Chain A
Amino acid sequence: MKRRNLFGLAAALTVATALSGPLAAQETLKIGAVGPKTGPLAGGGAVTFWPNVQLWANDVNEAGGIDVGGTKMMVEIIEYDDQTNPGETIKAVQRLATQDEADFILAPYGTGLNIASAPIFERYGYPMVTHTAISDQIADLSGKFPNMYFLLGGATGLAGGVVDVLTQMRDAGEIGNSVAMVNVADAFGIELAEAARPQFEAAGFEIVYDSSYPLGTQDLSPVINGARDSNPDAFVAWSYPPDTFGLTEQAQIAGLAPKAFYTAVATAFPSYGARFGAAAEGVLGAGGVFADGDAFKDYAARHEAVTGAKPDFWASAPAYASFQILQQAIEGAGTTDKAAVAEFIAKNDFDTIIGPITWDENNSNAKYWTVGQWQGGVFKGVASTGRDGAVAAMPKTGWE
């Protein structure tokens, strides 16, 4: 008797599972996420990409899901590590498209990995709103991959922002005319230095020191000593995360304390402010956000509550915004049909945590933050190509 009961229960359970299976599947949107968890870009991915994937999924599901033509659909994230290897990114996106049959796929992390996987997004018709792809070939890329969008801007704008900020400081009589410029000898550092040189000269600055150092250099004292000996009014380093920290440290040791001190990637990381504390005050860096805006403050609080870490003051918010755009497009199109969602993205403007987004003729967001500055423990945007909320840059007063 007891055994029969047990069988009955098992049978009922089987039937119930069989019934609920397909129903549950229909109410869930499968969203693919591919990014580096190992390899050279794993550090950046852990600050900027993965926490935002987690936060966005959490936000969406807490609100009851995405509204698809009247049906609320929860999102389920399928994560893959691409090992910072384009071959693996391609395979993972391919796997998401054909094996997991993901409804949508979030754009990967990093310029090279985004571009490598663009043909796969294109082949399966997935819209691709990139958040961390910086390229000067956006026109070519968007021509070849019409579903590819760009949020973070380009090197020319980032370099131009620095020149503008320094020009304003000079015109205000805060700094003089001489600039010491160094760059990390790797893709992005080279591109920025190349873009900055003519712009500095056109703005009437004199580059009194111009040098580069290899990627992964541990001892940055020759670079900093060379810059200090040129006695510049402004120091500009087109640097990567490890050397951004190294240069700042070395500048304090060597007593390089110009009125304008700029380091590029990772200056906007919360860990930069945490490490240098009061000494970070007045340091300029790549990126920036409208840090005093309610949208960012609210986002930062949720980011910390859900993921346990603070967002960075540059690409974090655009990464989240790119997911928001996808979400709004699905709701706007009222369907999970990829072509309809892609069309909705192309034809509409979006309101995100970084403000309104409109696309230019190359599917690119033309208004992005270029320079920020640590002011009172927060990295505030001081220059952009048309965003609201910039504060005035202030001269740096030593390292104390």
Chain B
Amino acid sequence: MVAKRIIPCLDVKDGQVVKGINFEGLREVGDAVQMGVQYARDGADELVYLDISASREGRRTFVDLVRRIALGIDIPFTVGGGIGTVEDAARLLDAGADKISVNSAAIADPSLIGRIAARYGSQFVVVAIDARCLGGRWMCTTHGGSRPTERELFAWAREAQERGAGEILFTSMDHDGTRAGYADAVYARLAEELSIPVIASGGAGSIEDIRRVLIEGRADAALAASIFHYGQIPIPELKTALNKAGVNVRL
């Protein structure tokens, strides 16, 4: 059986890893390549690098960084942030990324998913969705959660799958940054409705939170940032505990 994956997420600004606390007050936590190499050694199954640079210069720096990451680490990695065209995706693929993630641009133009998938395969395309619960309905947001949309989470996830997404990375904006657990029930419903893998993101605060989203939430992978970056939960300890709890993980 395919192992459940543990994925540290690194937000990168001008080549340095930062972690946004509610997307404000960004703090630098380390060198993006060195941190990736360390995570790979510790047993991370995959890495996600998100470019949060706003400037053109920052974007160019990111492509160079992706090239260095690809040379440095020996596990798969996804890159995202500001990918708006097939050409953006091609540049990152050429630099060595295994997958790209699209978010706001896919909502603005859903055909982007199919165009990238047709050229490079579904396995290359992760559709990232940020959503929050409004009046009992899960609604998608864009631009880091700052802009509401008319799209409903489950309908959009199904559409993304039909258009050629290889995976869905769903972040609950209601849970992100709280460290109070993932939106387990929402992931369980996504698993029910989709045939492609789902990555859970937002809310990890403890080993138990991660176990729950992988088992009760039926997520294929759990993504987290701060609990890993600040050493709160070392990955070897996390995986040993998950294994003891009967979760199929790579040790």
Note whether A and B form a binding pair.
no
Residues of B within 8 A of A (CB): none
Residues of A within 8 A of B (CB): none
